Amino acid sequence: MNHREVAEQLVAKLGGKNNVISAAHCATRLRLVIEDENSIDKNGIEELEGVKGAFSSSGQFQIIFGTGTVNKVYQHFAPLVGASMEDESTNKGESHSDAAKRKMNPFARFARTLSNIFVPIIPAIVAAGMLMGLLGLMKTYNWVDPESALFVMLDMFSSAAFIILPILIGFSAAKEFGANGYLGAVIGGIMIHPSLLNPWGLTDADPSTLDFFGFGVEMLGYQGTVIPVLLTVYIMAKVEKGLRKIVPNAIDLLVTPFITVIFTGFVALLIIGPIGRVLGNGITTVLDVVYSTAGPIAGLVFGGLYSTIVLTGVHHSFHAIEAELLANVGGNYLLPIWAMANVAHGGAALAVLFKTKNKKIKGIAGPAALSAFLGITEPAIFGVNLKYRRPFIAAAIGGALGGAYVVFTNVMANGIGLTGIPQFAIVQDPLNYGIGFLIATIGAFIATLLLGWKEEK
C-alpha cells in the first residue's frame, strides 16, 4: 500500500485541501472537520485501498483505516491539508476539538465535552480497576493474607485513583473549559481536603458541621464523586476568564488565581458541592431502581440500543455516570452491558466474513471482527454491519441477549473504558462475563446468517 498516494487521492475526494477545516486521528480513524460535506465523494473514498469505511458523526467526517495504517496515512495527509503533526491544530488557528464542536448541536457538544474530560482519566481508573480485580482474586482464593503488607499496599494503590478523582477531573475539566488546569486541580484538592471527612468506604460515620455566618457547612469530602467537581470547575472557569478580562496584566498573575480559588472554594463547599452530591446520588438511585426492578429486561433494552446510541455520539457522556456508579455502588454494571453490544458487532462481522464471497469485504470483516472483540467497534459498525444494515440489526439482537444475561447474573466491572476481551481484567465475575460474551457473539452470528444481507455487485 502506497500511503502517500492514498493520502493524495483522499484529499481530492474530500473536495480539496480548502474543504478540510481540521484534521486529527485516533487509534483507527482519520477524524476530519469538513467545510462542505456535500463536496465529498464518499463512495470514492470507500473504494480507496486500505479504507474500511467512512461516516459522518459528532461534527466530524471519519475514515476508518485501522490500527497502524491510520498513522502512516496521516503522516502524508496532514501536510497536504495544512494540519500540524504536533498539536493537530487547524488551518484556522483553533483546536481540532473546538472545530468539531462548532459543527455539532448543543446536546452533541455536551456529550463531546464530557468525553474530552474523561478520556484522559480512563487509564488511571482502568489501572485501579485491574488492581481491585487482582485484590478480589487474592482475597477469594486466599493467595495473600489480607493483613499482610503486600495486600494493604496494593489496596492503597487500587483506591488512590478514586480518592483523588476530583483532582484528576478538576485538572482535565479546567483545561476543557479553557481555564488553568492547575487551578482546577486545586479546587478538586479543596473538595477532598483532609479536614473533610473522607466518605470513601465509610457507611455510618457522621461529619461535623461548621457554622459559616449562619450557614451550616457539612464537613464531608467529595472523594470518588464526579458531578460536584464538574459543576464547580465549570463555575471556576467562568470566574477565571471573567477576571482575566478586567484585571490589569501587571497584577493578573497575583490577583486572578487568588480571587478565583477563594470565590470558587466557598461556592464549592457552600452551594455547588452539596447540590452536585444530591444530583449524583439521584442519578445512581434512579439507575439502581431500574437495574433492580427491570433486571434482565433493562439489560435487554440497553444492550440492544447501545449501538444506536453510539451512532449519535451521546455514549461519550456515559463515562461520568459510570464513574458515579463506581463511587456510590462499588461497581459499574453498565460497562458489561456496553461490552455485550460491542462484541456482538464482532459476531455479526464474523458471520459476514464466513458467508461473503467478496474478497474485499472478507479483508475488512476479519480485522473488523477482531477489533470489536478487543473493544474497538468502529471498523465493524461502520465498515461492515451498518453498511449492509441487517448485520447491524443482528448485532443489536446479540447485544440485547448478552446484556440481559450479564444483568441477570449481576456482572459488574471495577472501572470504565475497557470492553470486549480486555474487560476480563477489570470484571468482578469473569465466568458469567465470558458466558455473556459467547451469548452476544453467537447470537449476533446466527442472527446475521438468518437475516442475511444484500451485497453490492
For residues 147 and 21, what is the distance between their CA atoms, to the nearest angstrom?
58
∠ Cα 366 369 370 (to 5°): 90
For residues 385 and 398, what is the distance between their CA atoms, to the nearest angstrom?
13
- Tell me the one-letter amino acid at 313: G
Helix (H) or strand (E) holding 60: strand 60-64
For residues 189 and 375, what is the distance between their CA atoms, to the nearest angstrom?
33
Please name every residue paired with 332 in a beta bridge, in sequence order, or none if there are none. Answer: 413
Q: What is the dihedral of CA 322, 324, 325, 327, to 10 degrees?
A: 130
Phi, psi of 197 (to 5 degrees): -65, 125
Task: Determine how many CB atoms are found less than 10 A away from the CB of residue 83.
Answer: 23
Terminal alpha carbon distance of the chain: 24
∠ Cα 449 431 322 (to 5°): 85
26 is known as an active-site residue: yes
> Helix crossing, 69-81 with 3-13: angle to 10°?
50
Helix (H) or strand (E) holding 157: helix 149-163
Nearest to 417 by CA among 375, 370, 373, 369: 375
Please name every residue paired with 62 in a beta bridge, in sequence order, or none if there are none. Answer: 31, 55
- Tell me the one-letter amino acid at 143: W
What 8-state DSSP symbol labels residue 412? -
Cell of 27: 487509534
From the candidates 1, 26, 278, 431, give the one annotated as an active-site residue: 26
For residues 123 and 240, what is the distance between their CA atoms, to the nearest angstrom?
29
| Chain centre to alpha carbon of residue 300 | 22
Residues 6+ apart with CB under 8 A from 8: 76, 80
Residues 6+ apart with CB under 8 A from 136: 414, 428
Contact 405, 302 (CB under 8 A): no
CA–CA distances in Å: residue 2 to residues 48, 49, 301: 11, 9, 44
Burial of 216 from C-beta contacts in 10 A (0-12 / 13-18 / 19+): exposed
Among all residues, which ones are annotated catalytic? 26
